[in-house]
Every structure is written in C-alpha cells, then in structure tokens.
C-alpha cells in the first residue's frame, strides 16, 4: 500500500473552530475509517491526554468519526498497527518525540504511515513527518533521545511559517534567519508551511494544498516560493 498523508501547518485558523478549515478534506482522507487513533502526546498548553482527545473527538464527530486516544490502549504499538486512521496533534514537538520514543511507538508509527494507514499531522504532528524535528519552533522543555523522526517525506517542515514583518521594531531573529542557521550545519531541505497550507502525500507524490504559497529553503540557495497545487516530490 502507498502513503496517504496530510501534513498541515496548523489545526486552527484565526476565527475558526478546531480543524474546521480541513474538515472537507478530512472527510475524504478518512472516508474508509470509522475510528481515528489520536496521539495526544504533544499536549498544547500542558492539557491532559483526556482533555486533548475530547477536543479532537468533538471536531471529528462533525464528519461522523469516532476518536480514541492512544493512551486508552494497553499496548501502544499494537494500537498503531491496528488503527484505521491516525491523527497526531500539535503542541510541543520535543515532548511529542520524547514520548514516541519512551513509549516505543516511533518505529510502529513509521511503518503504519509508510504502509498506507491514512495519517493526519498538524503542527508538531507535521514536524515529525520530516527527516528530523530540528526545524521545529518549540522550546526544548524535555530531552528526546533523538531528533530523528518518521522520515515519511524527504525534507523537513517548519510549520506556522511567518514572514518577516518589515514594520516591526522587534530585533530578534526571523524564521528565515533560524532556518538559515540550521542550514549552516545541515543540508536537508526545509519547507516553510504558512497557516492554512498543507501537503497531500499520495504514494511518492507530494503536493502543496491551500490558498497560499510555501517557502522552500535549500542549503546555500536563495529561498523560493512554491505555488499551491505544485508537485514537490523532487525536493530531497
């Protein structure tokens, strides 16, 4: 079976409900799934696994899907292996990756996604689709045993990508500066995904979706804007 993945920059757009902008797409993406396995490890704002799962269940109920949190199962790897569809939500990527390793889930999740289990990632759940989590925006609140992630696409993601505000008096680094710093030591391409953008991965095909362009960073090259509906399978 071939990969079937949605890699979204964010779960929520300004003035919208949780996952609202993606629901039409998710209805198709998860059409053959009655139940979605949710991985709540990233815990945005420190909410509990139960609270996070309840929030996700509310959103998926709108398209007739039942959600079960992975924490409700005795064996996490078997839960992943048997899942009809999988969603990993946003929050802190360091915490998410640390937990995936601690709970011995990283390999099972990689295999499930590569074998065609429909997968949705938002924010931190998108970060882990790349070769590593090194282009996250998050604070290192815990220490994962490795930065290596699922590698179901051949580049890294920078979710919530923000363009520099030319009118701002803030003198801190821009997102572009940080990605350039990453490229001082690493040659893995980085795609800056703006809010409301997502990647649709079907087999080996990776297509940018949504109304906005994405910003592609390659080591020692000028960044380029990628138009929506562009096939970026060539990025490696």
Active site residues: 123, 138, 160
Q: How many CB atoms lie within 10 A of CB 7?
A: 27
Determine the Cα angle at 219 with ends 6 and 176, to 5°: 70
Q: How many CB atoms lie within 10 A of CB 177?
A: 11
Looking at 89-167, which runs of residues are DSSP E strands?
119-122, 156-158
Beta strand 205-209 with 198-202 is antiparallel
- Rounded CA separation 80/83 (Å): 5
Place of tokens 């064996």: 75
SS3 156: strand
User: For residue 144, is it left (φ>0), alpha (ψ between -120 and 50) or beta?
Assistant: beta
């Amino acid at each position: 079976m071939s990969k079937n993945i949605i890699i979204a920059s964010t779960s929520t757009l300004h003035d919208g409900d949780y996952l609202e902008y993606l629901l039409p797409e998710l209805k198709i993406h998860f059409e053959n799934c009655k139940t979605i396995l949710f991985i709540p490890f990233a815990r945005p704002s420190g909410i509990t696994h139960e609270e996070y799962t309840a929030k996700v269940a509310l959103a998926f109920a709108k398209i007739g899907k039942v959600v079960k949190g992975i924490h409700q199962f005795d064996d996490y790897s078997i839960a992943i292996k048997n899942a009809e569809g999988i969603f990993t939500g946003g929050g802190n990527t360091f915490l998410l990756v640390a937990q995936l390793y601690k709970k011995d889930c990283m390999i099972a999740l990689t295999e499930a996604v590569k074998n065609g289990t429909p997968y949705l990632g938002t924010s931190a759940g998108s970060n882990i689709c790349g070769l590593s989590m090194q282009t996250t925006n998050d604070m290192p609140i815990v220490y994962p045993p490795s930065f290596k992630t699922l590698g179901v696409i051949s580049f890294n993601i920078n979710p919530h990508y923000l363009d520099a505000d030319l009118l701002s008096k803030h003198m801190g680094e821009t997102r572009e500066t940080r990605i350039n710093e990453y490229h001082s030591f690493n040659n893995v391409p980085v795609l800056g995904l703006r809010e409301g953008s997502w990647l649709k991965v079907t087999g080996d095909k990776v297509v940018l979706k949504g109304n906005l362009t994405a910003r592609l960073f390659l080591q020692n090259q000028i960044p380029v804007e990628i138009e929506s509906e562009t096939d970026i399978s060539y990025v490696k």
